[in-house]
Amino acid sequence: MQTQTGALLHQAHMTTIEALQSLEEFLGANRKPPQVDDLVARKMKQLSRTLRSEVENHFGFEENHLFKAFIEQGETGIVTMLTHEHRSILPLAIQVADLALAAADAGFTDASWGEFRDAGGELIEREIFHIQKEEMGLLAAISALLDPEADAEMANIYRAEVG
Ligand SMILES: [Fe+2]
Ligand SMILES: [Fe+2]
């Protein structure tokens, strides 16, 4: 059964996957620091926004609202696992977002491109794995644990806090 909350999370997951896939192509296409023209600068700003929104607003919603409701129902296993993954993804995502923003302004140096590639590659791996897990387990758990009223309430919180 599809829930409103699940649909909203799914939408955001797909946006993040798209951003990560485009990052992967960008990293793969450039062995040396690429020239940052207007188009690349726009891409870097967009990447930075998407990553920050994912790990600040989306993770925040999951932890502060959704996971809390799960814990109230004794569903702690999935919460512990996903929260642990958030902790390992967040600093990496912020690092990549900051490097992307700096590059949009000032371009890449050999050093910053190396750092961006390493952190970006690791982020792509961890985040896609995390999203796959949530798509398989979390969305089903939402429909099992939230009744329609709780789902509607949760979806409203998501729209208010994440957009
Ligand atoms: Fe998520
Ligand atoms: Fe998550």
CATH value at residue 93: 1.20.120.520
Domains in the chain, number: 1
Ion ligand 1 neighbours, Cβ < 5 Å: 134
Q: Specify the pLDDT at position 1.
A: 67
Torsion from C-alpha of 12, 14, 18, 24, nearest 10 degrees: 100
Q: Residues lining ligand 2 (ion), CB within 5 A?
A: 62
Mean pLDDT by 10 residues, the chain (163 residues): 93 96 97 96 97 96 97 94 98 98 97 98 98 95 95 97 89
pLDDT at 141: 94
Q: Cβ(55)–Cβ(89) under 8 Å?
A: yes
Spatial distance between the Cα atoms of 36 and 24, rounded to a whole number of angstroms: 17
Domain residue limits at 127: 4-161
- Global pTM? 0.94
Report the distance separating Cα 112 and Cα 67, nearest Å.
Answer: 36
Residue carrying the six token digits 């729209």: 159
Ligand 1 centre to CA of 38 (Å) is 31
Locus of tokens 């590659």: 121
Per residue in 61-75, is it b (16+ CB within 10 Å) or e — as a string? Answer: bbeebbbebbeeeee
Predicted pLDDT of residue 163: 82
Ligand number, closest to the Cα atom of 81: 2
